[in-house]
Amino acid sequence: MAKIMVVDDAAFMRMMIKNTLTKNGYTDIVEAQDGAEAVAKFDEEKPDMVFMDITMPNMDGLQALKKIKEGHADARIVMCTAMGQQSMVVEAIKYGAKDFIVKPFNADRIVEAVNSILG
């Protein structure tokens, strides 16, 4: 079973994604509260896929994406963005993000992203 990391500074957002994943059979889920924690946990946990919020304290999602990609070029990361952050999405894709989903999350879109990346 695939291991998925969910990174968001809002516990409520992590819970929403986690619940959607669990309902769809993905139960091996690791959480991180910010980019710095995500980078540290990525090395330990080696997740198959990451949902990464863009706007977070300590280290934002773009910085964390860059850092993870430096050490793990094959990392599969989906950025989670609020409306109006298109320029950041373009940056994220440039740095190697595989996809992005827009808040408020649509459960089908979360599952679609997982299925397209993990097959």
What's the pLDDT tens digit per position in 78-92?
Answer: 999 887 777 888 899
Is-contact 35 58, C-beta < 8 A? yes
| pTM listed for this prediction | 0.94
Q: List pLDDT tens digits, range 7-54.
A: 999 999 999 999 999 999 999 999 999 999 999 999 999 999 999 999
| Of 85, 50, 82, 44, residue with least CA distance to 64 | 50
Measured between alpha carbons, how far is 63 from 56 in angstroms, rounded to an integer? 10
Measured between alpha carbons, how far is 42 from 60 in angstroms, rounded to an integer? 15
